Amino acid sequence: MEEDDNPPIAIPMDEVSLEVPTEPDAGAPVGVTVITGYLGAGKSTLVNYILNAQHGKRIAVILNEFGEEIGVERAMINEGQGGALVEEWVELANGCVCCTVKHSLVQALEQLVQRKERLDHILLETTGLADPAPLVSILWLDDQLESAIKLDSIVTVVDAKNLELQISKHADSGSFPETFIQIAFADIVILNKIDLISEEKEATQIENLKRKIHGINSLAVVICTTRCQVDLNKILNRESYSGESNNRWEELMEESKLLPSSSRHDSGVSTLSIHQPYPVDLDKVNGWLEDLLWEKRYSMDIYRCKGVLNVHNSDQIHTIQAVREVYEVVPGREWHEAEERINKLVFIGRDLDLESLENSFRGCLTIT
């Protein structure tokens, strides 16, 4: 666990009186929100806030202890090690539970699922992990967890007072690469510690920081906070990885009309978008994605891809989601009669090439 203003609380079990709330739908999968952020940004403050708040939700917070010592790949599999997977469970009076993972993250999640009649949501704090992509791939598509757990979103906490300095230092010396990677993978960015910005500069500086964040990741929702006091409805149940209920995409369709085709930082991390009105061949799109994400044929390091497709001979909107090498294309609702049928894709990554993306995507079109 990182050092922070408020380290997570540890309350002895005999000092807690737990009221068991009404049980949720036993058949519904439990959403998992991954919390990431650079040291000192406020992840522990966010955890503390959730564990103490009277929000009426039954939330489990997993604090990992694998970090760099074990590595995320080892933490996600069962290596047959002896001893407990979880050091201890702490149950709180507001219905939350807190645990520390020692070995297998997947097995710890399975333990939580066995208790899920008492849970509404799971938060996973990725202390010490610069790149949340391996967790995303396991939680999003793992067959063993699919029916019981679903990846809900990635929340990245950043320090409003120091973010601009971190961005400037990275441009000069390559330091703070974690900050860029964590923002690039985020569905939601919590811009924390805005109270430490001087009042006369607050409005201007916050808007400038939002522009810098969206320059790295135009898909992210930015929420400004003091001491991570956030409305939990804004960060939970976002369904960012659900093809059927993609809450953010409807907003993005409108917002992207105002976005430039590309935005780039000196770090090399950028957001690019491509628009194409003609219908596409779905098989060709899958082949194109495999070339981009698996074969790295165009020498681009793609972190995220998200978009909608106008598929030939289909009245349904098809959505694309990709994180590193893992992707899926799924049909959703039908196009509205007055809606413009269009292919619209947004890419986040390093060394992106707009011309190569546009030219290669044209090979997927049914009309040239």
* CA 326, chain centre distance (Å): 14
pLDDT in tens, 176-191: 678 888 899 999 999 9
Domain residue ranges of the chain, discontinuous segments joined by +:
13-234, 247-364
Q: Provide the angle, in degrees to the nearest 10, between the axes of the packed helices 177-185 and 163-173.
A: 120
Better-predicted residue by pLDDT, 157 or 16: 157
CATH class (in words) of the domain with range 13-234: alpha beta
pLDDT reported for residue 266 = 45
Summary mean pLDDT of the chain: 76
pLDDT in tens, 221-276: 999 999 999 999 899 988 888 765 444 555 555 554 444 454 444 457 888 889 99
d(CA 357, CA 208): 29
pLDDT reported for residue 70 = 37
pLDDT class of 367 with cuts at 50, 70, 90: confident
pLDDT reported for residue 7 = 47
Mean pLDDT calculated for residue range 149-174: 83
CATH 3.40.50.300 holds for 247-364: no
